[in-house]
Amino acid sequence: MENQKIPIWILYKGRSVKAVNSLAKVPVEQRPEYKKVVFTMRPMTWGANNEMLRKAKRYRKIKGLLIGDVDEYFYKGEKLIWALLAWDYKDDKGDQVPVTEEKINALHDSVVSELLKVYDNLNYLSKDEERRICVEISNYVLSQSSGAKTVAPPVEMVELSLYDRFFWTPDQVDRIGLKRLQTLFVAMGEKENSTAIAREQVSDKAQAKSGKKKKAV
């Protein structure tokens, strides 16, 4: 997977810092005041995300039961340090600012917020994308079962068939982009659900047809 380059526009005014991920959100007359900084990010993988979640897990006892929660602040910090590989930040003298954990932790909250917003959109499956996959898989399976076969198979189903064919190992899966893997999981689940529904519909039609024949006799 190729690294992801994410531009963020930053406005410095004294101690005030504003950041946006697109100049379209800024009035035209104010745009020259914003400084563009390009962040180079490592794509999130299934294995890396699981490791970060494990580190961010916090446990507490409630009425004798051990409850686990994810420390979101810690998780975001771990994600940023893991993912951020480079930037074109320069100091007041024009020298390149090195990418270190200390420098990353010193980034302003507004910059981090905008950066992670874009990064998460690139690397995590959204609810809208999940719904789109479910609809496409459902339409395809129902089209096949009805005999119409007018709907092309979604890309996610094609990729699932490649998984089955080549028997990828867990190590290989760990290196796959997290968003891509989440997409495949959603596709797999919806394929199974839609297939079950389609079978039920075929069975109902067969029973209805059989009932009509009996009445005719």
Tell me the torsion sign for CA atoms 132, 137, 140, 146: negative
| pLDDT reading at 212 higher than 70 | no
Sequence-ordered alpha helix ranges (H) in the chain: 46-56, 72-83, 101-105, 109-123, 127-146, 155-166, 170-174, 178-216
Average pLDDT over residues 70-80: 95
| pLDDT reading at 214 higher than 70 | no
User: In this predicted model, what pLDDT tens digit does every residue of 15-45 receive, in sequence order?
Assistant: 899 999 999 989 999 999 999 999 999 999 9
User: In this predicted model, what pLDDT tens digit does every residue of 103-153 receive, in sequence order?
Assistant: 999 999 999 999 999 999 999 999 999 999 999 999 988 888 887 778 888
User: In this predicted model, what pLDDT tens digit does every residue of 99-114 receive, in sequence order?
Assistant: 999 999 999 999 999 9
